[in-house]
Structures are given as C-alpha cells and as structure tokens.
C-alpha cells in the first residue's frame, strides 16, 4: 500500500518557499513582539480623533502600516499550519497567531468607534481639508454606513479581544478534519490496497475512472464522517449561533444582512444568484448525469459517481511543468504585466503542490499585501489540477495587481467579485486548449473540463450556499442544528436539485461536514457570482478582443475602490439584472448539448 509522505519527506521543489515572509520562526516571533509594542503606541491616538483631520490621517496611516505587517505575520502562521497541521509547533504558532490578532484588533478597536462617533459632516470636512485622507475616503464612508449597528466602544473592544474565541469553530473544524480524522484503507477490484484521506478522496478517488475504487473509497470516507457527525454539528451550530447572536446584538434584521454588508451586496443580489441559477441549471445537470450513466454503463448513478470522468480512457497524466507551460501560453492574452506574475509564480516556488500527512485539503491563494502570493494545491496529476491551478493563479494575479496599484485599505474587492478573476483564467485555459485541436475527442475532453469548472462553482458551491441559507433561516427560527437536522437539510437540497437522477445515500447527506466555507461568512454563493461575471467577460473578449482585456486589467487593478456592481459594470457586465445569470446557465446548457452530440 502506498503510504502518504510526512512533510519532511516531500521533495523541496513541490513545496512553497516562505522565506519571503520570514526566514525563520525566530524572525517571526521577533516581529510579533515588535508588532505588539507598536500596537500599544496607537493608544496615544485614543480620544483625540475629533482633534482634526491631520490627527485622523496620522492615526489611519499608523493603523494601516500595523495591519500590513500583522497580516503578513498571520499569513505565515496560517501557511505553516496548512502545510502540516499535525506538527505541534505549527499548531502552537497558529494558536499564538490567533491571540496576537485578537490583541491587535482590541488595541485598534477604538479607532472604528471614535470615527463612527464623529458627525458625517465632520468626516466630509476632514476629507476636504486633508489630502492624506483621500486614500481612506471609501473605507471611511463605508464605515459610516455601519453606524446604526455599532455597539459601545467598550463592547466593541470586548468583542475584539474575544477574536480567537469567536474564531474557535473554524479552528476546531480544521484541526479535527486535518489532524484527527482517520479513514480505513480500501481495496480495489484487483485487490490493491489504497490509503484514504480527505485530500486523496477529494482530489483523486472522487474523480477516478475506477468505479470500484471510487465507490469503496467513498464508503470508507463516509463511514468516518458519520462517526464524527455529532461533534462537527456542534461546531457548525456554534458558528451559526455566533453570527445570529452578534447580528441581533448589533440590530441587524438577520445574520444574512450582517454578513452581506461588508460585501456591499443586497439581499436581492444574493438571492438572485441562488433563485435564478438553481432551478434553471438543474435540468441541464440532470441531462449531464444521465449522459454519464449511459456512457459509463452504470446500472445506477450514485452520489459518488457524479465526478467520474466521462471518457476514462482519455485522461492524460499532466505534470506540474506541463501544466505551467500550458497556462503561460493560455494567459499570454492578458499581456506582459500579467504574464510576468504568472511566470514568477510558477518558477519561484510560490506554489505548494505536495500531498503529505496533515496538509490542508482543497486549494487556496494567500496574498499578503506587499509580498507575493502563495498557492496551496494538492497536485492530482490530471487536467482538473491544471484548471484548479489556473483558478488560484487568477487570485494571485488579481490581488498582486490590486496591491501594486492601491493602498492596503483599498486593495481587496468585495467577496461578490473575488471569484471572477480566478474563474476567468479557467475559461481562458479552456479556450486556448480548444484552439489547439479540432479533433472531436479532444474537443469533448475540453468541454468536460469547462463543465467541471461550472460544476464546481454552480453546483458544488451553490448547493453549499443553498444549504447555508436554509441553516440560517432555521437557526433564526430557534431550531436546534443537530447532526440529524443538518443532514436532513442537506438531503433536501440535494434531492430538490438532482430529483431521481442520482441515488442519494446517507453519505451524501453528510456533505455539509466537508465544507470549510461554512465558517467564512457568506462565501459559497460568490463562486457563482464571480463565474457569471467572468463568463460574460470571456464572451466579450471573443467578440471585441483587446479593448475588453484592457478594461479587465483596469478592473483587476481597481481592487476595492469600487463596489461590486460598479466593478462589474467597468468590465462590461450588469449584474443588477438576471440576464447575465440566465445567459451563463444557457451557455452551460449549450455545452451539454454539444457533449451529447459528440458522444
């Protein structure tokens, strides 16, 4: 049986190099001490922000500099923990990082309270008087919009000091998932034994063409999840309860309203994504699964068969080097400024490809301001991994361009937009591959890769979002979020979408246990919002060419200086209407039409 490597056994070329952040744990610890000392100096501004525009500018600049450094330090601890959560030092440093961030937030919480205590006309006067406040204009005006929901300065400081405690549900979820869960090894039909882990199942076995391996690994995976369902339910319930209670304390109508406010998204925009896509997409996806069942010769389509490849004999192995070269060619259309970032990411060890014990599942991109991005991915050796890498490189290119052109306070856009640049890269990769060959088998293979992207964003993540919407509704009505209730809600979500096309077992109902997004506010639905926008822009690039690319680069560089609707309008897409959402779903339908024809 092939054993998963320990972190210290992984080839160094498959790992990221964190020296750009800190060359040693000792340097990181020294920076923590320096940051805590500098944070205490901010207290000299307490009670003085009404003294004038210059004083406020001094304070905001000092706070911004502190946040740049503290974000870098927190990122380092997070990356060390996600590369190997079984390492006791990484665990300790992760916990210490949480303490440190809480201390920083507590030390600076008075700034928010004192600004909100100032009359709006005073803020407007300050902005006219002091040019140094101009970069903070948007954040100041956004902060004033939260005024009705602010608590007393003392209460805000108390909540800030409890930051690590309030973040405990996510910490417990991650640590349990990555460090404590163990899965029974399985044997395929040839009698070969295979280890099972979260990463192996979600990046390899779930996509396997070997039906026997796919199904037995799913059984092992589901068996372990079932053993921990009550613990995970308690953790998730605590996260939801936290958001509901804080929303009520602040006076929001709902936790949803509170979580959408920092995204600058209305309930209408949020519900529009769910209510338009899910019912219109379901018939198309059912057709796709019926095609899969027929082509693969399956007597019944199980939940664990949903991601099985349609053409198992045509799934070439892809190395990281091959994928990197393909990506550089596909993204050259974005121009030299963007391409240089991609080249550096692929050659300078910004990316962690390894599969080792304790490594975080899934993929993400961390972009600490003033430093380059870091990407975590577990390389599966297939084209799906290449598309995932394209996705994360999209985040890297976006946030690095934004950071180079905007101050820290303005470089991160709304979550509503955040997945558009990443999914754009996936679409550009698919378009590039299609141009390389007119061979029917290659064409249908590429279409399947595009459909994997839409499945990931419009099915996996949007069904997460549908579940999340139901969970918050239940919590706000006082329902207890037990494992049984959560599984029932997930079962309803899945059965309404798939109908009788897919056989849903109890393991399928436990899918809520697999998603870290539930601990990140309202994040899941933004994948569909972003892909809707990138689908529209990708079509515009085909029609109009370079002017659209130039606009897109302007959008990436704008960072968080505009609200999400204005940002998307700058790209040429009006997301206040249902039309682009419906067009994206119709495009998915046309891809499935073509796939049916090719098969």
Query: Using one digit for the tens of pLDDT, what is the confidence trace for 293-311?
Result: 999 999 999 999 999 999 8
pLDDT computed for residue 382 by the predictor:
86
* 393 within 8 A of 324, measured Cβ to Cβ: no
The residues, any chain, with a CB within 8 Å of residue 597's CB and separated by 6 or more, are none
- Which pair of structure tokens corresponds to residue 195? 């280890």
Higher per-residue confidence, 178 vs 149: 149
- Which pair of structure tokens corresponds to residue 126? 């300050």
pLDDT computed for residue 2 by the predictor:
60
CA 86/CA 319 separation, integer angstroms: 28
List pLDDT tens digits, range 367-376: 999 999 999 9
- Which pair of structure tokens corresponds to residue 439? 């061979």
Residues 80, 82, 86: CA angle, nearest 5 degrees: 85
Whole-number Cα distances in Å, 406 to 115, 134, 366, 403: 22, 12, 17, 5
Residues 56, 415, 497: CA angle, nearest 5 degrees: 155
Residues 153, 244, 151: CA angle, nearest 5 degrees: 10
CA 555/CA 559 separation, integer angstroms: 7
Instruction: Categorize the per-residue pLDDT at 163 as very low, low, confident or very high, splitting at 50, 70 and 90.
Output: confident
Instruction: Categorize the per-residue pLDDT at 160 as very low, low, confident or very high, splitting at 50, 70 and 90.
Output: confident
CA 426/CA 413 separation, integer angstroms: 20
Cβ atoms within 10 A of the Cβ of 145, count? Answer: 11
Whether pLDDT at 575 is above 80: yes
Inter-axis angle of helices 383-405 and 420-436, to 10 degrees? 130
Q: For the whole model, what pTM was predicted?
A: 0.86
pLDDT computed for residue 204 by the predictor:
87
List pLDDT tens digits, range 198-242: 888 988 899 999 999 999 999 999 999 999 999 999 999 999 999
**DSSP per-residue codes, 374-409:** EEE----SSHHHHHHHHHHHHHHHHHHHHHHHS-GG
Q: Tokens 């070269």 label which residue?
A: 325
Q: What percent of the chain has pLDDT over 90?
A: 87
Whole-number Cα distances in Å, 543 to 198, 333, 336, 538, 579: 42, 14, 22, 9, 18
Domains of the chain: 20-166 (1.20.140.70), 236-316+408-599 (1.10.1370.20)
List pLDDT tens digits, range 349-365: 999 999 999 998 889 99
Region 275-281: mean pLDDT is 96
Whether pLDDT at 180 is above 90: no
Sign of the CA dihedral with 232 first, then 236, 237, and 242 last: positive
- Which pair of structure tokens corresponds to residue 109? 């919480």
Region 54-80: mean pLDDT is 97
Q: Tokens 């909540």 label which residue?
A: 159
Q: Tokens 């119709």 label which residue?
A: 586
Cβ atoms within 10 A of the Cβ of 323, count? Answer: 23
Whether pLDDT at 451 is above 60: yes
pLDDT computed for residue 573 by the predictor:
93
Question: Which residue in 465, 352, 343, 490 sits closest to 415, CA to CA?
Answer: 465
Whether pLDDT at 315 is above 80: no
List pLDDT tens digits, range 533-556: 999 999 999 999 999 999 999 999
pLDDT computed for residue 243 by the predictor:
97
Of the listed ranges 80-84, 364-368, 439-443, the least confidently predicted one is 439-443
Question: Which residue in 379, 384, 393 sits closest to 14, CA to CA?
Answer: 379
Instruction: Categorize the per-residue pLDDT at 1 as very low, low, confident or very high, splitting at 50, 70 and 90.
Output: low
CA 71/CA 79 separation, integer angstroms: 12
Higher per-residue confidence, 4 vs 96: 96
Whether pLDDT at 3 is above 80: no
pLDDT computed for residue 26 by the predictor:
96
pLDDT computed for residue 443 by the predictor:
86
DSSP helix/strand/coil, 515: coil
Average pLDDT along the chain: 94
Whether pLDDT at 444 is above 80: yes
CA 456/CA 458 separation, integer angstroms: 6
Instruction: Categorize the per-residue pLDDT at 312 as very low, low, confident or very high, splitting at 50, 70 and 90.
Output: confident
């Amino acid at each position: 049986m092939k054993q998963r490597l320990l972190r210290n056994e992984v080839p160094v070329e498959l790992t990221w190099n964190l020296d750009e952040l800190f060359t040693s744990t000792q340097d990181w610890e020294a920076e923590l001490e320096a940051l805590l000392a500098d944070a205490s100096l901010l207290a000299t501004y307490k009670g003085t922000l009404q003294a004038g525009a210059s004083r406020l500018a001094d304070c905001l600049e000092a706070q911004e500099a502190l946040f740049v450094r503290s974000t870098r330090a927190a990122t380092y601890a997070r990356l060390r923990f996600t590369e190997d959560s079984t390492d006791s030092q990484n665990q300790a440093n992760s916990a210490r990082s949480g303490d440190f961030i809480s201390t920083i937030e507590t030390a600076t919480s008075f700034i928010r309270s004192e600004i909100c205590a100032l009359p709006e006309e005073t803020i407007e006067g300050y902005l006219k008087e002091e040019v140094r406040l101009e970069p903070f204009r948007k954040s100041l005006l956004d902060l004033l919009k939260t005024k009705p929901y602010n608590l007393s300065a003392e209460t805000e400081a108390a909540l800030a000091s409890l930051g690590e405690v309030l973040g405990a549900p996510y910490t417990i979820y991650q640590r349990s998932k990555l460090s404590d869960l163990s899965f029974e090894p399985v044997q395929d039909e040839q009698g070969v034994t295979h280890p099972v882990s979260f990463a192996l199942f979600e990046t390899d076995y779930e996509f396997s063409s070997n039906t026997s391996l796919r199904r037995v690994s799913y059984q092992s995976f589901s068996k372990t999840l079932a053993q921990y369902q009550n613990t995970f339910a308690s953790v998730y319930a605590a996260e939801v309860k936290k958001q509901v209670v804080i929303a009520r304390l602040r006076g929001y109508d709902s936790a949803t309203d509170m979580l959408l406010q920092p995204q600058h998204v209305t309930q209408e925009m949020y519900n529009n994504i769910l209510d338009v896509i899910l019912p219109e997409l379901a018939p198309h996806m059912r057709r796709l699964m019926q095609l899969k069942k027929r082509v693969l010769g399956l007597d019944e389509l199980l939940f664990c068969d949903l991601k099985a490849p349609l053409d198992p004999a045509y799934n070439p192995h892809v190395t990281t080097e091959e994928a990197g070269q393909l990506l550089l060619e596909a993204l050259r259309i974005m121009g030299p400024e963007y391409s240089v970032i991609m080249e550096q990411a692929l050659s300078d060890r910004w990316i962690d490809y390894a599969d080792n014990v304790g490594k975080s599942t899934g993929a993400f991109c961390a972009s600490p301001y003033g430093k380059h991005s870091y990407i975590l991915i577990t390389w599966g050796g297939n084209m799906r991994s290449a598309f995932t890498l394209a996705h994360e490189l999209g985040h890297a290119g976006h946030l690095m361009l934004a950071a180079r052109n905007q101050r820290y306070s303005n470089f991160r856009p709304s979550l509503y937009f955040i997945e558009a640049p990443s999914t754009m890269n996936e679409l550009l990769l698919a378009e590039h591959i299609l141009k390389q060959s007119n061979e029917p088998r290659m064409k249908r293979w590429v279409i399947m890769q595009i459909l994997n992207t839409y499945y990931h964003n419009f099915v996996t993540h949007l069904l997460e979002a549908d579940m999340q919407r139901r969970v918050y509704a239940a919590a706000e009505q006082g329902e207890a979020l037990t494992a049984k209730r959560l599984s029932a809600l997930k079962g309803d979500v899945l059965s309404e979408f798939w109908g009788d096309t897919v056989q849903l077992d109890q393991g399928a109902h436990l899918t809520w246990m697999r998603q870290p997004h539930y601990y990140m506010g309202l994040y899941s639905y933004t994948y569909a919002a972003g892909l809707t926008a990138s689908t529209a822009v990708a079509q515009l690039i085909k029609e109009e060419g370079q002017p659209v690319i130039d606009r897109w680069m302007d959008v990436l560089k704008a960072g968080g200086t505009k609200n999400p609707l204005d940002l998307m309008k700058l790209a040429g897409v009006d997301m206040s209407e249902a039309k682009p959402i419906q067009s994206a779903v119709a495009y998915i339908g046309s891809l499935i039409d073509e796939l049916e024809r090719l098969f």
